[in-house]
Amino acid sequence: MRALILLGLVGLAAQLVDGSLGMAYGVTSTTLLLAIGTNAAAASATVHLAEIGTTLASGISHWRFGNVDWKVVAKIGIPGAVGAFAGATFLSSLSTELAAPVMSIILLSLGVYILIRFTAFGLPRGNLGKPLRRRFLAPLGLVAGFVDATGGGGWGPVGTPAILASGRLAPRKVIGSIDASEFLVAIAASVGFFVGIGSENINFSWVAVLLLGGVIAAPIAAWLVRHIPPRILGSAVGGLIVLTNVRTLLRSDWIDASGGVQTVAYIIIAVIWAAAIAYSVREYRRDKASESVEAVESEQRQRTTTEEETASA
């Protein structure tokens, strides 16, 4: 019973993070399942089965709060489902020790860019509103779905930073669209795992409690992302990507850093991340204050012009 309660709390916390930042449900949940001795394929299958319910709840919640771009969902979700099915059926049992560091370097680069871009300059607006083309979203979905199925998580960490970096979609809509499209990925991966490993290695009580925790958290997370300013949200997402992928690299066979080195690296990143968020909050408040002053001045000018026109008439 204690293990089930813990899994339920993990599912709730993971969905709060995933629904707010567009990533980390699969990574968080799979990590716990692996830590208690579940084999990789069964852990990924368990999480993806739970995600069928959590992503449905999350997608509906984001839709109700206006966080979903359905054109993006269609363009990335269908290729993502294809990639997830392929990864689950053919490659879920293969080692990802070599692929993980390579992917982490790519994601780390995107994370650093997003952290700097949003913290220093706010939401990129030069491309905001421009359409995200299928030739960009389809390959991205295919790769993200494949990584998600073989690694027990990765749809958000691959898809969210790539779309954020394009600057064509507001952060809350990036997160909402990624969460909504993950429903297709979860179904395809689950079908693939049933084909590949069957159901005998899957603990359905674990699936149920992960699902319950995620469903409870989904509407809360959708509300949070609706109300968190884009600049602050971008800094938060960027820092999460950096921290997650530095951790992967330090623990990989390529580096194999000692525990002390890892601890120092995490502390440095955490300090920089906290400072970036604090700076983003300060700049956001300053921008809002400036906008308020400009609005008052504009209203005064408009009132003066109206009075002058009335007097001349």
Is residue 98's pLDDT more than 60? no
pLDDT recorded at residue 269: 95
Q: What are phi and psi of 124, to 5 degrees?
A: -65, 120
pLDDT recorded at residue 79: 92
Q: For all residues of the chain together, what is the average pLDDT?
A: 77
55-84 mean pLDDT = 87
pLDDT recorded at residue 117: 77
pLDDT recorded at residue 78: 93
169-195 mean pLDDT = 85
203-222 pLDDT, tens per residue?
777 777 777 777 777 677 76
Cβ contact 201:41 at 8 Å: yes
Element (H, E) at 211: helix 204-227
Is residue 307's pLDDT more than 90? no
Tell me which residue has tokens 């421009």. 130
106-144 pLDDT, tens per residue?
667 877 877 887 788 765 555 555 667 788 889 999 988
Pull the structure tokens for residue 144. 């993200």
Is residue 150's pLDDT more than 60? yes
Which residue would you say has higher pLDDT here, 97 or 235? 235
The model's confidence at residue 271, banded by pLDDT at 50, 70 and 90, is very high
Is residue 100's pLDDT more than 60? no
Q: What percent of the chain has pLDDT over 70?
A: 70
pLDDT recorded at residue 268: 95
251-267 mean pLDDT = 86
CA distance 160 to 157: 6
Which residue, among 223, 214, 130, 129, has the nearest Cα to 172 in the 3D structure?
Answer: 223
pLDDT recorded at residue 288: 82
pLDDT recorded at residue 266: 93
3-62 pLDDT, tens per residue?
666 667 766 766 666 666 666 677 667 766 666 666 666 777 777 788 788 788 878 888
**Local structure of residue 49 (DSSP, 8 states):** H
236-248 mean pLDDT = 80
pLDDT recorded at residue 53: 81
**Local structure of residue 108 (DSSP, 8 states):** H
Tell if the pTM clears 0.75, that is, is over it.
no
